[in-house]
Amino acid sequence: MGAPSVSALFTQRVVIGVGEMGVSNNPSITLSTYALGSCIGVIAYDPVTQAGGLLHLMLPDSSISPAKALSQPAMFADTGLPMLFRALTGIKGDPARLRLFLLGGASVLGGSDSFKIGERNIKATNDYLARMRLPVRYTALGGTINRTVHLNIGTGGITMKTPNGDDSFSLAG
């Protein structure tokens, strides 16, 4: 196997929890979020400046809890998405160059989700991105499985883990 690379020794994982968001332009950072079910993970990456972000939104619309939206805007699609893109712009991410990957929105309760939160989260996210004219490069939406994802800021590489196995994507090329 050999010795690990120097950069691998200094890689730092930042975990983004439910209703949280993180951005970075530090190439030794990996942004990760775990067990996306009905929640949506939004990854945005600018390959020129190596600025990336990860949003783990939980609900489509902040009007159900305006007070919660003020204290935790990343929890909702309508407040979290604008916050993600503002934060990326603040670290030199250019909206015109952003490459997006969406995942989650599953019905993990096996069809008994009468609120259809996953479907509503997908719609709210896609509607916002369409209004902002931000094209999505990859998706892993819907279904009945949870997903875990890792974004390597230095490479733009994404690893998605599901009960069915792992997938890799790149937002750099």
Q: What is the DSSP letter of 85?
A: H
The domain ranges of the chain are 6-170
**pLDDT recorded at residue 144:** 93
CA distance 146 to 39: 9
**pLDDT recorded at residue 52:** 98
- Correct CATH for 6-170 of 3.40.50.720, 1.20.272.10, 3.30.1330.200, 3.30.70.2740: 3.30.1330.200
The continuous run of DSSP H or E covering 169 comes out as: strand 165-170
> Is residue 159 exposed (0-12), middle (13-18) or buried (19+ Cβ within 10 Å)?
middle
**pLDDT recorded at residue 7:** 56
Sequential pLDDT tens for the chain (173 residues):
566 655 556 779 999 999 999 999 999 999 999 999 999 999 999 999 999 999 999 999 999 999 999 999 999 999 999 999 999 999 999 999 999 999 999 997 765 656 899 999 999 999 999 999 999 999 999 999 999 999 999 999 999 999 999 999 999 98
Please tell me whether the overall predicted TM-score, pTM, comes out greater than 0.85 for this model. Answer: yes
**pLDDT recorded at residue 13:** 96
CB 156 within 8 Å of CB 52: yes
The continuous run of DSSP H or E covering 15 comes out as: strand 12-15
**pLDDT recorded at residue 115:** 82
CB 113 within 8 Å of CB 77: no
